[in-house]
Chain A
Amino acid sequence: MSDPVRELPTPLKMITTPISLDYTITPGEAPTRFLKGMMEGRILGERCPKCLKVYMPPRGSCATCAIPTREQVELSSTGTVTTFCVVNLPFYGQAVEIPYVCASVVLDGADLPFFCLLAECPVEEVRMGMRVEAVWCEPSERKPSLENIRYMRPNGEPDASYESFKEHL
């Protein structure tokens, strides 16, 4: 008698069903104001009228007070590293050579840190409290994107005290 198990067909292990959807995303009023500023090489945060926190980048509302932020606040391109990580792992699509530093930087005058690359600095020297400045792309290369800030680099000022940025971690 034949073995019924042996006569089973080869199991189908995988099918490929490609999916592709196109979206046209609207940034919204506040991000549009911010992105227009980026086109001019300016960093425009927005202040909450109630708690006075300055959002950078602004998303249109104060997440604490749930009210629109409307007052634009021009921020300087210097700030403080609140935290960071050194990327040592290669992965598909990686745009920067490893090791590199991904940092959380709170710009002077802002109340929320934003994520950015940190360069022109040996990775072992990066630290919390380090003072940094933005390195912009050429004006001719500007687009409506936070990528106009190519990266942050140390600006040589003495480190900020932990007390000065502990609220922004």
Chain B
Amino acid sequence: MREIAVVSFAQAHSVRRDIVHNEVEILMPVVAEAVSSSGLTRDRIGFTVSGSCDYLAGVPFSFVMALDGVGAWPPIEESHVEMDGAWAMAEAWTRLQHGDIDTALVFGFGKSSVGELPDVLTLQLDPYMVAPLWPDSISVAALQARAMLDAGLCTEREMAEIAVRSRRDAKSNPFAQLAGDFSVDKLLADRCISSPLRRHDCAPISDGASAVVLAAGDVARALCEKSGRAPAWIRGLDHRVDSQALGGRDLTTCPSARLAALKAGVGDGPVDVAEIYAPFTHQEILLRRELGLGASTRINPSGGALAANPVMAAGLIRIGEAAAAIHRGEAKRAVAHATSGPCLQQNLVCVLEGE
């Protein structure tokens, strides 16, 4: 396997509803920053790949328009996944394994605010038997939270504590949307929006974008020497999928996340920092167990998705934040996780290490 490192990361400040900028205008400065801070110029990017979703944008082929903000002339080698940018990163990593190019630009973007996000996400359910009933994404997640509570795998207080910790940690994240000091008791006094989930259990609705630049071997080393960052080497990468049929799964477990963590080698060494994409508080508890993360691992120092959740960019932000912890020398070994689909159906796990 070729050694591939994340050499730069940029993200937009997530906001609840950006009524000034379109997707391209949100994305353009983020891509420009990721490229320029990598030390590369655009003409030295070997491969470009994005993650976004037309159902989110409400516009067909919206990813093609996004290329207006990237510079696709003279023609560039370009691809797109209708998934979170984290999966675009997996494609870029695979593309770099071919060996003929050394650098790749990866970005994810989306404005969750333009439609009704919980309804838009209904479209990812089984279109014959489930989606016609229109269960929204919060209600579907609530089924999982209820199953976990009833199985004694978490408590509502533990869930609220995760929200409090995430929002507190987000105070030092200038890109977060929801940050501050909250009291667990006050949050628990709130009413449920979809029992047993309260507002603080759910990620906010966010508009945003993120981008990373990947580089291989000595190219990555040379770029990082110039930028003064430690290269964040991708030592393990895997993604797996559970059944689409919610009734066919034990929602208190997540075999796809467990298997992806195993294949990516999460347990092969101590994990200093883990950035995990848990859009609901109970999912962090479930993922911590399935990824095999112990008490010595700092979870989501950025505040995680509970502080900012630009759908289609938030998974890539986890990879970027984990890499940035290594870039800054704050972590030697970090884990990034991304999810998609109802109740953590699809999971991607990435292990990053410094030199």
Which of B17-25, B239-247, B316-324, B333-341 participates in binding chain A?
A: B17-25
By a beta-carbon cutoff of 8 Å, the part of chain B in contact with chain A is: 18-22, 24-25, 28, 31-32, 42, 55, 58-59, 65, 67-73, 111, 114-116, 119-120, 123, 127-128, 131-132
Say yes or no: B25 contacts A61, CB within 8 Å: yes
Closest to B127 in A: A17
Are B119 and A26 in contact, with the CB atoms below 8 A?
A: no
List B contacts of A64 (CB < 8 A): 71, 73
Interface contact B111-A63, CB-CB below 8 Å = no
- With both chains docked as a complex, state the minimum distance between the C-beta of B49 and any C-beta of chain A, in angstroms: 16
The reply on A27 being an interface residue by CB < 8 A is: yes
- State the CA gap A59–B67 with chains docked (Å): 11
A3-34, CB under 8 A of B: which get 1 and which 0?
00000000000010101011111111111000
Q: Is the CB of B28 within 8 A of A21?
A: no
**Separation of A156 and B6 alpha carbons in the complex (Å):** 60
Shortest beta-carbon distance from A46 to chain B in Å: 12
B58 engages A60 (CB within 8 Å): no
| Chain A contacts to B: CB under 8 angstroms | 15, 17, 19, 21-31, 59-68
Is A21 within 8 A of B22, CB to CB? no
Interchain CB contact under 8 A, A27 and B115? no
The listed residue (B20, B69, B116, B120) touching A61 by CB distance below 8 A is: B69
Determine if B58 and A66 form an interchain contact, defined as CB atoms under 8 angstroms apart: no
Which of A27, A31, A63 counts the most B-chain CB atoms under 10 A from its CB?
A: A63
CB distance from A18 to the nearest CB of B (A): 8
Residues of chain B with a CB closer than 8 A to A15's CB: 128, 132
Interface contact A60-B68, CB-CB below 8 Å = yes
Minimal beta-carbon separation of B70 from chain A (angstroms): 6
Q: How far is the CB of A33 from chain B (nearest CB, A)?
A: 12
- Contact between B114 and A25, CB atoms less than 8 A apart: yes
Known A-B contacts A17-B128, A61-B68, A64-B73; A26 and B115 likewise in contact (beta carbons under 8 Å): no
- Residue of A22, A25, A29, A63 near B59 (CB, 8 A) is A25
Set of chain B residues within 8 Å of A29, measured between Cβ atoms: 20-22, 25
Nearest neighbor of B73 in chain A, beta-carbon distance: A64
Knowing A63-B67, A66-B70 touch, does A28 contact B59 (C-beta < 8 A)?
no
Q: Which residues does chain A contribute within 8 Å of B21, judged by CB atoms?
A: 26, 28-29, 60
- Bound form: Cα–Cα A30–B22 in Å: 9
A21 and B116 within 8 A (CB): yes
Q: Which residues of B contact A26 (CB under 8 A)?
A: 18-22, 111, 114
B73 to A21, Cβ gap below 8 A? no
List the 5 closest pairs (A to B, CB-CB), nearest first.
A28-B22, A66-B71, A23-B58, A17-B132, A64-B73
13 additional contacts, CB 8 Å, given A24-B114, A26-B111, A63-B68? A15-B132, A21-B115, A21-B119, A22-B115, A22-B116, A23-B114, A25-B59, A26-B18, A29-B22, A59-B68, A60-B25, A62-B71, A63-B67
